[in-house]
């Protein structure tokens, strides 16, 4: 066995072998090694049903799946190894209008990434699937490119392709331990000897947590039991074959939570059942291979019945075999593909529940990331660092079982599922609840999404369209605009960067200038090497050598890991985690100064406390850091305080603010207001797929300040000409829905861009969207169209910040308020 390699891949399932194949394809073939403790495919891969569903609501996963299908079509020709790709198509049924809305929203994402999907009527469904009972159907969608593959053959073909490029595969070689030397090199110890390497990829399927334990990583993956059954042949299916008719598409009845396809003249039925338990909670037995569990027919029964009523012929054949195997899961059902946190050059390709479908794309992006230093598509949806320490074993069990049972439920954009909640709560949680808060969860934190007032039921109302909470938000926005509102943003990620090297470190990490004055605040972006936007920080200068950084709560591990991995190795810069120690209450609205002044002795006038500055003040007797910034475009302060004092501040404000009309507002109102200000958000308008200039962040980029991370690529891209440009759009003639993001933007019927986000702006009384378009169509006044839930609406490019473009309210120009 080799003793030295650039990359060691652990795990010979389809996911690990695809990573090896793609590294070899990028030219590293002579230097990459895969270790498999048993035979290739002896984990989950051998018993997978092999379906390749393109359908996925995530922008990242959609692109990963699309790549896979395109690759799989070519593998047989490339390697000479048949992969059994049956491109039979995929038909998804809808039994109600909400399901159709889900399909329309999915189709929008599909269109913008170039996946072909057609809408079909019940009559067309019958033509495609003559054995289907179309009663109760309202329509469906059809992917003609979709189908299924033989997972073991696919893996062997990828292995052949990798070996042909020099890669080595060592079977029957178990990884026992992994260590990183101070030099950064990894030592992978196996039962056949040791290998030193620069990078390790963990692709160990159901063993993910065991592999993580070897280096002290708590990987948020726990598998769930998943079953499918194979029937005896059915004469009608055999007859169809005999008549030379093509195989029918894979059929999915989402509302019955099952899929059905032909298999050797019979059927395969795969359900996603309620009550399927997590398995291998502490990892499988090290010797486990080709392992299946006892089938649970009771769990299958409701789905068998649903399938029998939809396809009566299915009820006419006996069950030949039931497979019950472990399927890896994460709390949101998407895999984790990318760098591990806290360690360098350890890569995760784990948590795949559709691993046959995702393996190709996952290997492709991982190879780009490792060899070239960055992925080429926005991988936020599959980023390993999108979870945090809160994802404990108990949380994973609750969430993964819930996610599995919900694979086929309607994925509403505002869906907030209950399992594993509440988990992380701000001290004011109960107070907010009493005031009517309806909560959502991000990064484990409970955050008020909106407030049920005026006798409304304190229950969320999920929809693709404007729903019950629309009017509640209108009231929250109105009160924040006329009086004063309070928003709990404790979930913000917070940290301190300090030490003699702090300023020069931050100066290199961000494209903007580091705030110079004490108490100065700047909005700053950390770019990646390609000039795309990786992270957004609000940075406040606390002291000469100390900076306080605030970023999106959901991206805490990602943002902080990015900073930590770039710290100089000489102890001149310290990173201090502050998220759990500091709470944040945001006070916003024209009466916010008047209110804050009632509980503080500090002069809060424009002259004494200007916009974009911070000061240490006291609220009552509690010392806080007040920052005159917000994300909603009103006069206001973010009050950053020691977590234990939150309720003192909360009570003091509500006591003093009653006659001023103080009311809480939630995240959804904030989102509506930020759209009116054209404020960008990481993960939608800001992404590694777009340069900081394409996201129109010019005023936060200072190319003349000297070198910074991503500067060269950013400037090269600018000189070559932007490929996209971020615009704000006003959508007309729509009264029951708004853009949700990933909507196609069209000019003369041609797709020329995609909306990144959208919603209703109550202060401007207009439906708004932000989106990326071709630069020549970015001029204000340009008339475009936007597709929203299957219909096209006029969309006009308008100047940024349709509400208060001059920031007069934020700056309180006349000093009129207070």
Buried b (16+ CB within 10 A) or exposed e, 221-259: bbbbbbbbbbbebbeebeebeeeeeebbbbbbbbbbbbb
Whether 443 and 560 have beta carbons less than 8 Å apart is answered as no
Among 22, 25, 47, 209, binds ligand FAD (CB under 6 A): 47
Give the integer Cα–Cα distance in Å for 491 and 584: 8
- As measured in angstroms, the least distance from the Cβ of 32 to ligand FAD is 15
Among 354, 631, 708, 762, binds ligand FAD (CB under 6 A): 354
**Closest alpha carbon to 325 in 280, 282, 268, 286:** 280
48 binds ligand FAD (CB under 6 A): yes
Spell out the residues 6+ positions from residue 643 whose beta carbon is closer than 8 angstroms to its own.
426, 427, 490, 580, 581, 582, 583
Which region, judged by CB under 6 A, interacts with ligand FAD, from 5-13, 446-454, 590-598, 599-607? 5-13
- As measured in angstroms, the least distance from the Cβ of 325 to ligand FAD is 3
Give CA separation, 252 vs 10, 154, 231, 303, in Å: 34, 23, 17, 12
Give the integer Cα–Cα distance in Å for 632 and 651: 23
Among 14, 340, 660, 789, binds ligand FAD (CB under 6 A): 14
- As measured in angstroms, the least distance from the Cβ of 188 to ligand FAD is 9
- As measured in angstroms, the least distance from the Cβ of 178 to ligand FAD is 9
The site map against ligand FAD for 147-176 (x = CB under 6 A) is ---------------------------xx-
CB atoms inside a 10 Å sphere around CB 75: 23
From start to end of 232-339, where are the E strands? 250-253, 258-263, 266-271, 319-327, 336-339
Give the integer Cα–Cα distance in Å for 509 and 188: 32
- As measured in angstroms, the least distance from the Cβ of 95 to ligand FAD is 23
13 binds ligand FAD (CB under 6 A): yes
Give the integer Cα–Cα distance in Å for 195 and 380: 31
Give the integer Cα–Cα distance in Å for 529 and 688: 9
DSSP secondary-structure letter at 686? B
C-alpha 685, offset from chain centre: 14
Q: Give the chain's largest Cα–Cα span.
A: 89
Among 12, 381, 384, 753, binds ligand FAD (CB under 6 A): 12
Give the integer Cα–Cα distance in Å for 41 and 13: 5
| Residue 331 or 710 with smaller CB distance to ligand FAD | 331
Beta strand pairing call for 32-35 and 614-619: unpaired
Among 356, 587, 727, 797, binds ligand FAD (CB under 6 A): 356
49 binds ligand FAD (CB under 6 A): yes
Whether 526 and 477 have beta carbons less than 8 Å apart is answered as no
Is 308 in a helix, a strand, or coil?
A: helix
| Residue 360 or 717 with smaller CB distance to ligand FAD | 360
| Residue 43 or 161 with smaller CB distance to ligand FAD | 43
List, in sequence order, the alpha helices (H) in 121-180. 122-128, 151-164
Of 173-192, binders to ligand FAD (CB under 6 A) are 174-175
For residue 422, say if its preceding peptide bond is cis, omega within 30 degrees of 0: yes
| Residue 148 or 445 with smaller CB distance to ligand FAD | 148
C-alpha 479, offset from chain centre: 32
Among 106, 207, 329, 650, binds ligand FAD (CB under 6 A): 207
**Closest alpha carbon to 270 in 304, 295, 232, 294:** 304
By the 10 Å C-beta count (0-12 exposed, 13-18 middle, 19+ buried), 456 is classed as: middle
What is the C-alpha end-to-end distance of the chain, expressed in Å?
76
Which region, judged by CB under 6 A, interacts with ligand FAD, from 204-212, 406-414, 488-496, 498-506? 204-212
- As measured in angstroms, the least distance from the Cβ of 351 to ligand FAD is 8
Which region, judged by CB under 6 A, interacts with ligand FAD, from 355-363, 407-415, 543-551, 724-732? 355-363
- As measured in angstroms, the least distance from the Cβ of 295 to ligand FAD is 11
DSSP secondary-structure letter at 76? H
Buried b (16+ CB within 10 A) or exposed e, 112-122: bbebebeebeb
Give the integer Cα–Cα distance in Å for 385 and 493: 13
Which two structure tokens, joined as six digits, stand for 750?
Answer: 């041609």
Which two structure tokens, joined as six digits, stand for 303?
Answer: 């789905």
10 binds ligand FAD (CB under 6 A): yes
For residue 33, say if its preceding peptide bond is cis, omega within 30 degrees of 0: no
- As measured in angstroms, the least distance from the Cβ of 190 to ligand FAD is 7
Which two structure tokens, joined as six digits, stand for 256?
Answer: 């019955």
| Residue 336 or 584 with smaller CB distance to ligand FAD | 336
- As measured in angstroms, the least distance from the Cβ of 21 to ligand FAD is 12
- As measured in angstroms, the least distance from the Cβ of 50 to ligand FAD is 5
203 binds ligand FAD (CB under 6 A): yes
DSSP secondary-structure letter at 248? P
- As measured in angstroms, the least distance from the Cβ of 37 to ligand FAD is 4
- As measured in angstroms, the least distance from the Cβ of 303 to ligand FAD is 14
- As measured in angstroms, the least distance from the Cβ of 339 to ligand FAD is 17
| Residue 190 or 606 with smaller CB distance to ligand FAD | 190
Among 7, 16, 75, 731, binds ligand FAD (CB under 6 A): 16
| Residue 207 or 700 with smaller CB distance to ligand FAD | 207
51 binds ligand FAD (CB under 6 A): yes
| Residue 147 or 761 with smaller CB distance to ligand FAD | 147
Among 7, 11, 588, 606, binds ligand FAD (CB under 6 A): 11
206 binds ligand FAD (CB under 6 A): yes
| Residue 214 or 313 with smaller CB distance to ligand FAD | 214
Residues in the chain: 818
- As measured in angstroms, the least distance from the Cβ of 181 to ligand FAD is 20
205 binds ligand FAD (CB under 6 A): yes
- As measured in angstroms, the least distance from the Cβ of 225 to ligand FAD is 8
Of 17-46, binders to ligand FAD (CB under 6 A) are 35-38, 42-45
Whether 490 and 670 have beta carbons less than 8 Å apart is answered as no
| Residue 407 or 746 with smaller CB distance to ligand FAD | 407
Which region, judged by CB under 6 A, interacts with ligand FAD, from 131-139, 202-210, 702-710, 804-812? 202-210
- As measured in angstroms, the least distance from the Cβ of 259 to ligand FAD is 8
| Residue 38 or 504 with smaller CB distance to ligand FAD | 38
Which region, judged by CB under 6 A, interacts with ligand FAD, from 198-206, 417-425, 452-460, 626-634? 198-206
Among 325, 361, 363, 440, binds ligand FAD (CB under 6 A): 325
- Size of residue set near ligand FAD by CB under 6 A: 41
Give the integer Cα–Cα distance in Å for 477 and 469: 12
219 binds ligand FAD (CB under 6 A): no
- As measured in angstroms, the least distance from the Cβ of 348 to ligand FAD is 11
50 binds ligand FAD (CB under 6 A): yes
Give the integer Cα–Cα distance in Å for 320 and 272: 19
**Closest alpha carbon to 381 in 420, 335, 442:** 335
List, in sequence order, the alpha helices (H) in 171-285. 208-214, 235-242
Spell out the residues 6+ positions from residue 41 whose beta carbon is closer than 8 angstroms to its own.
12, 13, 14, 151, 152, 155, 156
- As measured in angstroms, the least distance from the Cβ of 11 to ligand FAD is 3
Which two structure tokens, joined as six digits, stand for 357?
Answer: 């479908």
Of 294-323, binders to ligand FAD (CB under 6 A) are 323
Residues that bind ligand FAD (CB under 6 A): 10-16, 35-38, 42-45, 47-51, 174-175, 203-207, 211, 226, 228, 323, 325-328, 352-357
């Amino acid at each position: 066995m080799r003793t030295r390699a650039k990359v060691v891949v652990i795990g010979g399932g389809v996911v690990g072998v695809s990573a090896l194949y793609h590294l070899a394809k990028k030219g590293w073939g002579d230097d990459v090694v895969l270790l498999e403790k048993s035979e290739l495919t002896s984990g989950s891969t051998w018993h997978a049903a092999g379906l390749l569903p393109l359908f996925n609501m995530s922008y990242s996963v959609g692109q990963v799946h699309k790549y896979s299908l395109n690759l799989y079509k070519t593998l047989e020709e490339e390697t000479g190894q048949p992969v059994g790709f049956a491109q039979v198509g995929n038909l998804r049924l809808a039994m109600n209008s909400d399901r159709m809305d889900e399909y329309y929203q999915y189709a929008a994402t599909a269109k913008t990434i170039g996946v072909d999907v057609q809408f079909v009527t019940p009559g067309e469904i019958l033509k495609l699937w003559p054995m289907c009972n179309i009663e109760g159907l309202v329509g469906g969608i059809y992917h003609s490119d979709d189908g299924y593959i033989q997972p073991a053959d696919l893996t062997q073909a990828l292995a052949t392709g990798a070996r042909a490029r020099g890669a080595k595969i060592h079977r029957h070689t178990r990884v026992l331990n992994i260590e990183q030397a101070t030099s950064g090199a990894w030592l992978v110890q196996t039962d056949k000897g040791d290998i030193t390497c620069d990078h390790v990829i963990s692709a160990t399927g159901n063993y993910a947590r065991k592999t993580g334990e070897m280096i002290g990583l708590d990987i948020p993956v726990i598998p769930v039991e998943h079953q499918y059954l194979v029937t005896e042949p059915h004469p009608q299916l055999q007859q169809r074959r005999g008549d030379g008719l093509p195989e029918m598409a894979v059929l999915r009845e989402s509302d019955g939570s099952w899929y059905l396809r032909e298999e050797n003249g019979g059927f395969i039925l795969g359900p996603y059942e309620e009550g399927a338990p997590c398995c291998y909670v502490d990892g499988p037995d090290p010797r486990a291979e080709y392992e299946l569990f006892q089938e649970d027919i009771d769990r299958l029964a409701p789905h068998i019945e649903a399938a029998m009523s939809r396809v009566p012929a299915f009820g006419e054949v006996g069950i030949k075999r039931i497979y019950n195997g472990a399927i890896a899961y994460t709390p949101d059902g998407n895999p984790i593909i990318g760098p591990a946190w806290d360690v360098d050059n350890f890569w995760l390709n784990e948590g795949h529940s559709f691993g046959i479908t995702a393996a190709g794309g996952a290997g492709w992006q991982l190879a780009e990331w490792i060899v070239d230093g960055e992925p080429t598509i926005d991988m936020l949806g599959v980023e390993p660092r999108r979870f945090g320490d809160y994802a404990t074993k108990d949380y994973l069990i609750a969430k993964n079982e819930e996610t599995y049972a919900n694979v086929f439920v309607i994925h509403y954009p505002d869906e907030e599922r209950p399992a594993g909640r509440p988990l992380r709560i701000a001290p004011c949680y109960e107070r907010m609840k009493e005031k009517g808060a309806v909560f959502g969860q991000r990064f484990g934190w409970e955050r008020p999404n909106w407030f049920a007032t005026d006798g409304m039921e304190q229950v969320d109302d999920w929809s693709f369209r404007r729903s019950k909470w629309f009017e509640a938000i209108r009231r929250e926005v109105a009160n924040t605009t006329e009086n004063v509102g309070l928003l709990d943003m404790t979930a913000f990620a917070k940290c301190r960067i300090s030490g003699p090297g702090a300023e020069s470190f931050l100066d290199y990490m961000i494209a903007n200038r580091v705030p110079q004055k004490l108490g100065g605040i700047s909005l700053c972006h950390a770019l990646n090497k390609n000039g795309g936007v990786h992270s957004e920080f609000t940075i406040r200068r606390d002291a000469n050598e100390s900076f306080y950084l605030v970023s999106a709560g959901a991206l805490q591990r990602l943002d902080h890991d990015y900073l930590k991995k770039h710290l100089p190795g000489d102890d001149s810069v310290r990173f201090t985690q502050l998220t759990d120690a500091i709470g944040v209450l945001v006070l916003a609205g024209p009466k916010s100064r008047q209110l804050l002044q009632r509980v503080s002795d500090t002069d809060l006038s424009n002259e004494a406390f200007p916009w974009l500055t911070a000061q240490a003040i006291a609220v009552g007797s509690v010392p806080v850091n007040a920052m005159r910034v917000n994300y909603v475009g009103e006069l206001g302060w973010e009050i950053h305080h020691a977590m234990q004092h939150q309720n003192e501040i909360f009570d003091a404000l509500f006591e003093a603010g009653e006659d001023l009309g103080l009311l809480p507002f939630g995240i959804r109102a904030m989102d509506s207001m930020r759209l009116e200000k054209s404020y960008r958000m990481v993960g939608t308008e800001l992404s590694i797929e777009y340069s900081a200039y394409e996201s129109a962040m010019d005023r936060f980029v200072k190319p003349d300040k000297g070198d910074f991370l991503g500067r060269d690529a950013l400037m090269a891209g600018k000189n070559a000409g932007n490929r996209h440009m971020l615009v704000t759009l006003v959508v007309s003639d729509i009264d029951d829905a708004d853009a949700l993001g990933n909507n196609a933007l069209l000019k003369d019927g041609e797709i020329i861009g995609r909306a990144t986000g959208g919603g209703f702006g109550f202060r401007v009384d207009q439906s708004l969207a932000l989106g990326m378009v071709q630069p020549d169509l970015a001029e204000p006044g340009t008339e475009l169209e936007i597709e929203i839930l299957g219909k096209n609406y006029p969309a006009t490019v308008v100047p940024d910040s349709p509400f208060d473009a001059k920031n007069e309210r934020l700056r309180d120009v006349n000093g009129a308020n207070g």
